[in-house]
Amino acid sequence: MDRSPARIALDDFDRKILAILQKDNLTPQRTIGDAVNLSAPAVQRRIKKMTEAGVIQANVAVVDPAALGHPITIFVEVEIISETADQIEDAKREFAATPEIQQCYYVTGEVDFLLVIVVANMAAYEALTKRLFFGNNNVKRFRTFVAMERIKAGLEVPVR
């Protein structure tokens, strides 16, 4: 699923452009050009190059989960029993295919997976646990943390 080994050299212009686009990718290229001292076409070419190289992976609208009726964010630590490559791959595939799972990381340490889940209510979460964890006999243990408040949320990568 990580399809971007693309390592491309970025200069200061590129980094400045990325900093802007990570905050608002609807900024006109002309405005970006003014900010970084480049013409609009130059900005455009750089954006295109970075997109093709996989540096820019997507352009998305960030939506308030509550507005869509999914006000609850939940973190789950998952420990699995058998860590054979096949079992791990199966788990990855299932987690990736579940829409309620917003983020999924395979981690080192006492647990194996960390999930960020967005659901409409606790009943929906319980149904999900039944399917994903209790219904999977390779899951040894899982621990749930319910978010009471989202202090900061984004995917922004610090520049410089």
Under rule CB under 7 A, which residues in 6-35 are in contact with DNA?
Answer: 13, 28-30, 33
Check residue 159 for interaction with a copy of itself (CB under 8 A): yes
Classify 109 in phi/psi space as left (phi over 0), alpha (psi -120 to 50) or beta. left
Query: Binding to DNA by residue 40, rule CB under 7 A?
Result: yes
- Token couple for 109: 């340490």
Q: Which is nearer to a copy of itself, 42 or 88 (CB)?
A: 88
Distance CA 125, CA 71 (A): 12
- Site residues (CB under 7 A) for DNA, limited to 111-140: none
What is the Cα–Cα distance from 62 to 60, expressed in whole angstroms?
6
Q: In the set 87, 129, 138, 144, which binds a copy of itself (CB under 8 A)?
A: 144
Least spacing, CB of residue 74 vs a copy of itself, in Å: 9
Q: Cβ 32 to DNA, closest distance in Å?
A: 8
Q: How far is CA 95 from CA 101, 125, 159, in A?
A: 7, 14, 30
Contacted entry of a copy of itself, DNA, none for residue 30, CB cut-off 5 to 8 Å set by kind: DNA
Compare residues 14 and 112 and give the one whose CB is closer to DNA. Answer: 14
Provide Rg for the chain, Cα atoms.
Answer: 20
* Least Cβ distance, residue 48 to a copy of itself (angstroms): 12
Distance, in Å, from the CA atom of 113 to the CA atom of 124, rounded to the nearest integer, reads 20
User: Does 44 engage in binding with DNA (CB under 7 A)?
Assistant: yes
**7 touches a copy of itself (CB under 8 A):** yes
Q: What angle do CA 129, 130, 132 make, to 5 degrees?
A: 60
| Residue 148: CA count within 13 A, CB half-sphere | 0
**Position among 37, 86, 108, 137 found at the interface with a copy of itself (CB under 8 A):** 108
Interface residue list for DNA (CB under 7 A): 13, 28-30, 33, 37-42, 44-48
